[in-house]
Structures are given as C-alpha cells and as structure tokens.
Amino acid sequence: MKTPFEEIKEKISNFIPENLVDLLPKKWEKIGDVLVLKLKKELDPFAETIAKTYAEVLNCKSVLQEIGGIKGIYREPQVRLIYGSKNTETLHVENGIKYSLDPSKLMFSSGNMSERIRMSKLNCRDEVVVDMFAGIGYFSLPIAVYCNPRMVYAIEKNPLAFRYLCKNITLNRVNDRVEPILGDNRCVTPKGVANRVIMGYLNKTHEFLPIALESLKSKGIIHFHCLCPRDKFPDYVMDKIRGYLSEKEFEVVYKKVVKSYAPGIDHVVLDIKVE
C-alpha cells in the first residue's frame, strides 16, 4: 500500500519536470481540512498543480503556501492561498480537543502537540491557572477539559484569536471553568490568584516574568517557553531568568526541547517551581 506522499509523487510526476519531483515537500501541516505547504522556489511555477494534487490525496478544501515565518505581536502566519476554497476557517481536532481557527490568519503548530498533550495530563485539580498568551486556547483547553481546574484565566490580546478562543471554549463545553480575558497581559493579568501560570510565548518571554510572579499566589508553577541556541540549553535560559527570580526560592522541575524552531535554535520549555 502506498503512503500518501508516494501517491502524491506518482500523480505529480505527470505534470512537472522530472528533475523537480524530488523537491516536493515530504512534510506538511494539515490543520483540519486546510493544508499548509512550504515549497522551494523552483516549484513556484507549478504551485497550483502541486497544491491540487496534495489537496486531493490528503482530502483538504484549501491549500496555503508558507511564504515566511510567524510575524508581529499577533503571531500571524505569512501564507498565501494557492488552491481551493477562499474560506479557510476550519475545525481541527487533536487529543479530543476541538480548535476552530483560520490558519491563513492564525498560527497552529503540530510541533507543539506533545506539549499540548502534556498539559492535558497535569495534576491541576481545583487549581487556578493563568494562561498569559492563550491564543485560540492551545494550552487552556486541554487543561480545562482534562485536568479539573477550578478556573483558567485565558488572556489574549489579538481580537481575532480571542474570538476563536471564546468559540472554542463553547465548542469544548468548558464555559464554567475558562474565563477569557481580552487585552495585553501586562495590564489585565489577575494578581495573586494562580497556582500555575502558562507562558506559551517565544519572543523575550523572560521580560514577562514579573507579571507571572505577580499572578502567582505565594507559590506555584510557571511553565516557561522560550527560544534557545541548540547547544546552550538550559544554561542560556537560566541566565535569562535568574535575575527575575533572585528574590524567590525556585527549582526547575522539568525541562524539554519542544521542537526545532530555526537552524541552531530550539523552542524549549522549563517548569519552574516557585516557593
């Protein structure tokens, strides 16, 4: 039985020059029924034909071409529609969680799946959780659905992401335990309430640590995400955060490389226990 890629390769070989077949992407991001492809420049003249074949084999209504990375304070993907429906809103189901979103306007990384699943297995019973960068509910929803928290405060500043966050809270039937908050977390984060704070952000995350510490009760856990040079983990991160935690007793109780982010750069996470 052929793999999806073998089937794609066989079909496309009838439409593009033989020397380009080996440049076809072996990996892709399938978000619901929307596909995101990264194509080499040599394939651009054949982008629509390639996209149509991938869509047919992988059963997708729309195909987006990645033309850049995540951009700006709202973490927007740089993509363009190259095939299919202009309505790129979709429903993605992962680990039993329903995520409604538009991948042409909002990010969703399969590389973070292991971390989303880890969040669903935390012991959060009766805890108050503050998610400082909630997005569409990437981490808030698994915790709310599976971990029996008392309350999750899900903070998001992007109005579009916030709209999907509210929709996803209802889709997953956790309105009674997730309170969405629209705004900049530096202004709207509740203080002195949290047993656990999630910092799922990668750009200078350490600068938001004072807000996270203010949000905690006298003690608690901070799930701290950031970028780190590949050969300097965790020392590079510890150097970044140590000053912010100088007045606290703390211990790193978990550390992991989540995924490769760029050449020589990894997305990492540390669980910091603050006393």
* Same domain membership, residue 121 and residue 257: yes
pLDDT band at 1 (very low <50, low <70, confident <90, very high): confident
Cα–Cα distance, 260 to 267 (Å, whole number): 6
pLDDT of residue 73: 82
Is 93 within the bounds of a domain? no
Q: Domain span at residue 240?
A: 111-274
For 205-257, write each residue's pLDDT tens digit.
999 999 999 999 989 999 999 999 999 999 999 999 999 999 999 999 999 99
Q: CA-to-CA distance for 75 and 201, rounded, in angstroms?
A: 10
**How many Å separate Cα 265 from the centre of its chain?**
17
Q: What is the CATH number of the domain that holds 67?
A: 3.30.300.110
pLDDT digits (tens, 9 = 90+) for 120-168: 999 999 999 999 999 999 999 999 999 999 999 999 999 999 999 999 9
Q: pTM of the full predicted structure?
A: 0.94
Q: How confident is the model at residue 263 (pLDDT cuts 50, 70, 90)?
A: very high
Q: What is the pLDDT of residues 101-122, one digit of tens each?
A: 999 999 999 999 999 999 999 9
Q: Which two tokens stand for residue 9?
A: 């390769």
Q: State the CATH number of the domain containing residue 153.
A: 3.40.50.150
pLDDT of residue 75: 85
Cα 167 versus chain centre, distance:
17
